[in-house]
Amino acid sequence: MPQKPLYHAVILDFDGTVCATGEGIIYSVKQVLSTMGYPIPSPVVLQKFIGPPPVYSYMTFCSMTKAEAEKALLLFRKIYNEEGWHRTKAYPNMDDLLKDLDRCGVKICTASSKPIRQIERLLQKFHLRQYFCGIEGVDETNETKRGADKPTLIRDAMACCEVTDPQKAVMIGDTHFDAEGAKEVGIPFIGAAYGYGGAKELLEAGASVLADSVKALYPLLFSDNI
């Protein structure tokens, strides 16, 4: 077991960082586009729907208007909540990592563009919820947090972890949204290159530290020196 944590708090993106949610998201996106009469994009483009805010994705990758994208989002949530979420898997060794962080007294919180209730449900499914002091994500019942951007989510997660010094916390995520959000807040960042964004996207967004697996996060989060 690692001896000493390097940070007081670890803030995690969810899709592509804690869980592999891609299969369920892509399935739901394809159902939405078919229902709305839009062509199904290539697998490469569909992959880009995993992680970013959904309205942004529909407008950017399908040339929808904002009104159409918001309609697509509502339909997506219905399909995902009924069928898509079952297709999620936790990344290998994530349970062990969270357990070790928790044992060392590290506060853990999410900062994700995913709805809070979806994150809660998946963490419960994989028996991971007990390791998190809080869940920061999109709150469908709160107008202010319904469209919260990544820097806001990271700041809220830091507050949840009771950390005021950005250097005592670290953000881990797999997309340029995570890297750019961490940079704006001034918090250290580790790119989850095992996720959906990939190493190229993370490096182009300014990430200098990458992990190609959950196991590879250990030396970046712990020191063997007591």
Tell whether 51 and 96 lie within a shared domain: no
User: What is the rounded CA–CA span in Å between residue 205 and residue 222?
Assistant: 25
Local confidence pLDDT in tens for the 226 residues of the chain: 557 999 999 999 999 999 999 999 999 999 999 999 999 999 999 998 987 888 999 999 999 999 999 999 999 999 999 999 999 999 999 999 999 999 999 999 999 989 899 999 999 999 999 999 999 998 876 544 555 789 999 999 999 999 999 999 999 999 999 999 999 999 999 999 999 999 999 999 999 999 999 999 999 999 976 5
Tell whether 30 and 104 lie within a shared domain: no
Q: Can you give the CATH number for the domain in which 48 is found?
A: 1.10.150
One-character DSSP codes across 59-114: HHHH---HHHHHHHHHHHHHHHHHTGGGG-EEPTTHHHHHHHHHHTT-EEEEEEEE
The model's pTM:
0.88
Number of domains in the chain: 2
Q: Which domain holds residue 63?
A: 22-86
Tell whether 49 and 123 lie within a shared domain: no
Which amino acid, 87? R
One-character DSSP codes across 24-49: HHHHHHHHHHHHHTPPPPPHHHHHTT
Tell whether 40 and 140 lie within a shared domain: no
Tell whether 101 and 152 lie within a shared domain: yes
Tell whether 66 and 112 lie within a shared domain: no
Question: Of 86, 110, 138, which one is at a domain's C-terminal end?
Answer: 86
Tell whether 113 and 198 lie within a shared domain: yes
Of all helices (H) and strands (E), which one includes residue 50?
none
Q: Can you give the CATH number for the domain in which 189 is found?
A: 3.40.50.1000
Tell whether 109 and 203 lie within a shared domain: yes
Tell whether 8 and 32 lie within a shared domain: no
Tell whether 61 and 40 lie within a shared domain: yes
Identify the pLDDT of residue 139. Answer: 81
